[in-house]
Structure 1
């Protein structure tokens, strides 16, 4: 069943015509724009932000930084582009990351084809002409052959707490934190949310605020970050590994430089403990992404590793019953949710000027004029409220646009019933709509984003090139091709314990969202191989005309 556009509606005339519209000017959008221009296509990119960077433009909150090593969170298609930039730390912060994005943009000369402060609001497919009409909030109506989404996996913030407009103090969402910062000294500050973003904010502003109150619902497994400053010698050392990294990273399970090295069954309990301790001390995501892969399949293995991490957390929380109960997970396994890296986060809660409020069983009822009120009527007086309440992951960026495919079908309506794509690269019923960082492809969960986004944009670029070389104009998944990919995705996901959890990985944080593991969990290298095989076989899961 599809939802048709209203009858007797005539599209206004286009204001410009291009070969491709790219939605977004972040990591994926910049590279996609560059590749399509290299083909000689007329391309226009649009971004609601004021400049390039995508998530690294919007997320300017205190403490925002990589949790992928900087030297792997990079483009690998150009050796000089890689080597002419030097990171100052292993896990650089947002200001440095934003400067890197500007460096890439200017080095490739991309600015002239990007329109900022412009939000795409409507995209209608004209079946008679085989082209899209893309509307913006600035009055643009662009006639384009290809509409390519590089909007990002985590770019549609959730704003679902009642009363945000009633607060008389300062209230900000983490995803739109002012670049100039907030004045917190001497003020009563409340932070809502203890996911990866909330953790970075909390550990950064504790001590700056007059008093900090943290409202915590879902506890998170955390790993301590070790973030050394790089000398020139360190920078030259990682740059010397360019060829190795380019050959290795795209084929690992998670798109990081490291991969699972140990087999649980081959180790004694003592050896397992030693391995866990060694990779825990690495101060990276290695315990999650290069420890024992069996933890994603075996409840028994998961529990042992989860208890190892819980024990580390309990020690740092000094076994305080309230802190342990609120902050240490017990009802899901380590690694089945997003694992944040942190630096002194747990120790924050030992400060006298920090309060931790458990809202798991006493949720926030509303924001009032003067603070936050819980369901039992308890009221916390605040001067500043920072909301780190998450995103409508995977689908949200596109369902907030009125996208209409063949026969007026609505993407928002279809994904509201069932979240389906073909390899996360396209959607049946929407010819020439090509996508990155949408459901059923590796992205955000268990994936170094630049690795995955480079691969997805390269596949799209080659698909467009092949289409044009054959004198064809449209590419669209077949219904059978989409069914086959969804079935494969579900088969892979159901073999793991990850779908048994409740998290944004499955859209559980968005009321009414269809439940499905949003990211492909079969491995970055495996996904790349399947995409390559699809192209090499002549795109059998697609109709090309």
Structure 2
């Protein structure tokens, strides 16, 4: 279904929201629930966020179906169900369309529109927005719901304009299917998108060349249809499901295992690793033992198991070794895919290590590396995103005193709780930089509710402006950095992880997400609210903030 373009009668509203994925839609929903006037923008042609853009073959979430949704509407939970354990892109997009329709959210959106600037006007105490279409708006509150992965990263190679074939990016996939049948195809990148699209292309292409910078541990998804019995049991126990989600560090419906890796026998470890490998997804990281993300020796035992799995699957020993990572599991965002390693057993699929032989240029016929030319008909960039901060830094965002957010974040993001920034009054972020790495929909709802409660508090107490103290911001960033170094995710810079911005050449290296657990994060948010928002500066007049 194509979206109908809606515009509000005035450009002055209570709230401007940017984004139309899980985070943006929930921010819009909360503002509407508070009877605030809302104007929302999104660069896409409809709601969906990343799921509207990422239409490539094989795209699906590796989150579990019954928790990859909002929990606030029990009727909807009993009416809607994904058909698979790990929902595909079309189904996730269908769900987001359903949410937009059910709560009449599209009326607030202007689509096909990119916000270029958001500037806090100190004379009026309002945020002022300009878009690429020439539209303007102003609002008391500025809510961002732009997601972690919304700014695609595309490498620039000399000669790209001379290439005679087709070029696609997994995050800007056309709505019409791309036909790879009988074609010579190159896939550049082996992150979450790359490992999903490679098996699909390998089925039909005449030749497939995969260009890899960093290999990935890549269990299968364990995907299958959801049975009627499973769905009934879930619906009968949803309160317990959401309790588990709230108390799990990654927002999963799982309990702690009570097991530590090094306390288990070798036979028990092997049995559990095998069971969780076959279960797929994040099961090895979270369902085998409780300490794989924080104990490097334990983590290496899991890594050794997965490397042995790769070697047992991939028949060519040279290729198998190229596909074996040498870093801790979790230092990069763990992907999952069915048939990825098996694809390299096909005679028409080859692998090139761009560390050994980097890409130097594109030619009219294909891709040139330092060692050879590869002739192709289609190039697919699966090169990911300028994640987490990229959606912010590409905009001109200015707070009090004209301070640019890009300057405030010159050494990496500084926020309080990943929600707000000192010097940027009434700007609140849903799933912004320095928020937890966890299952997104429950996290977006938790943060969206917290922001909604904050705005209600401001209204009830005649507070016009709120922003965190600089001291709170500094303390949160210091805590975030300390926690990151206590987990294997802290090794991300060395392996080109977007967790630290290391996937983007020239980007400042900093921990961009919180690895202390979504459960502990929610506890901190609750404590801040219970304190009457003690870490925030508040005032009834703008001059009092200065």
When normalised by structure 2's length, the TM-score is: 0.94
* Residues 255-301 of structure 1, C-alpha deviations (whole Å, 9 max, x = no match): 01114312234422322222222222222311112332322232211
Matched position secondary structure for 1:223: coil
The equivalences for 1:389-408 within 5 A come to 389-408=383-402
Contact kept? 1:395, 1:415, Cα under 8 Å: no
The equivalences for 1:430-509 within 5 A come to 430-443=424-437, 447-501=438-492, 502=494, 503-509=497-503
Match of 1:418 among 385, 409, 412: 412
Matched position secondary structure for 1:333: coil
Alpha-carbon distance change, 227 to 121 in structure 1, aligned in 2, over 3 angstroms: same
Deviation, 1:140, is 1.4
1:226 matched residue in structure 2 = 222
| d(CA) in 2 for partners of 1:233, 1:290 | 23
| d(CA) in 1 for partners of 2:362, 2:231 | 47
1:311 aligns with 2:302: no
Deviation, 1:461, is 0.8
Matched position secondary structure for 1:341: coil
1:236 aligns with 2:232: yes
1:190 aligns with 2:186: yes
Contact kept? 2:311, 2:317, Cα under 8 Å: no
1:137 aligns with 2:128: no
Contact kept? 1:259, 1:289, Cα under 8 Å: no
The equivalences for 1:20-419 within 5 A come to 20-162=15-157, 163-261=159-257, 262-318=259-315, 320-330=316-326, 332-376=327-371, 378-419=372-413
Deviation, 1:142, is 0.5
Contact kept? 2:311, 2:321, Cα under 8 Å: no
Deviation, 1:205, is 1.4
| d(CA) in 1 for partners of 2:530, 2:510 | 29
| d(CA) in 2 for partners of 1:55, 1:409 | 29
Contact kept? 1:260, 1:291, Cα under 8 Å: no
Contact kept? 2:162, 2:363, Cα under 8 Å: yes
Contact kept? 2:330, 2:488, Cα under 8 Å: no
Matched position secondary structure for 2:415: coil
* Structure 1 residues not aligned, in runs of 5+: 1-13
1:9 matched residue in structure 2 = none
| d(CA) in 2 for partners of 1:269, 1:46 | 54
Alpha-carbon distance change, 183 to 274 in structure 1, aligned in 2, over 3 angstroms: closer
Contact kept? 1:191, 1:214, Cα under 8 Å: yes
Contact kept? 1:21, 1:146, Cα under 8 Å: yes
Contact kept? 1:258, 1:286, Cα under 8 Å: no
Report the more deviating stretch, 521-530 or 243-252.
243-252
| d(CA) in 1 for partners of 2:65, 2:294 | 30
* Residues 482-501 of structure 1, C-alpha deviations (whole Å, 9 max, x = no match): 11111111221122232223
Contact kept? 1:81, 1:104, Cα under 8 Å: no
Contact kept? 2:359, 2:368, Cα under 8 Å: yes
* Residues 88-145 of structure 1, C-alpha deviations (whole Å, 9 max, x = no match): 1111211111111111111111111111111111111012221100111121110100
Deviation, 1:439, is 2.1
Contact kept? 2:328, 2:491, Cα under 8 Å: no
Contact kept? 2:296, 2:488, Cα under 8 Å: yes
Matched position secondary structure for 2:39: strand
Matched position secondary structure for 2:100: helix
Matched position secondary structure for 1:313: helix
Matched position secondary structure for 1:171: strand
* Residues 173-192 of structure 1, C-alpha deviations (whole Å, 9 max, x = no match): 11011111212112111110
1:532 aligns with 2:526: yes
Alpha-carbon distance change, 75 to 126 in structure 1, aligned in 2, over 3 angstroms: same
| d(CA) in 1 for partners of 2:444, 2:321 | 38
Deviation, 1:511, is 2.0
Contact kept? 1:419, 1:514, Cα under 8 Å: no
C-alpha root-mean-square deviation of aligned residues, in Å?
1.5
Matched position secondary structure for 1:209: coil
Report the more deviating stretch, 91-100 or 58-67.
91-100
| d(CA) in 2 for partners of 1:297, 1:255 | 17
* Structure 2 residues not aligned, in runs of 5+: 1-8, 540-546
Deviation, 1:37, is 0.6
When normalised by structure 1's length, the TM-score is: 0.94
| d(CA) in 2 for partners of 1:322, 1:426 | 49
User: Size of the alignment, in residue pairs?
Assistant: 526
| d(CA) in 2 for partners of 1:370, 1:414 | 44
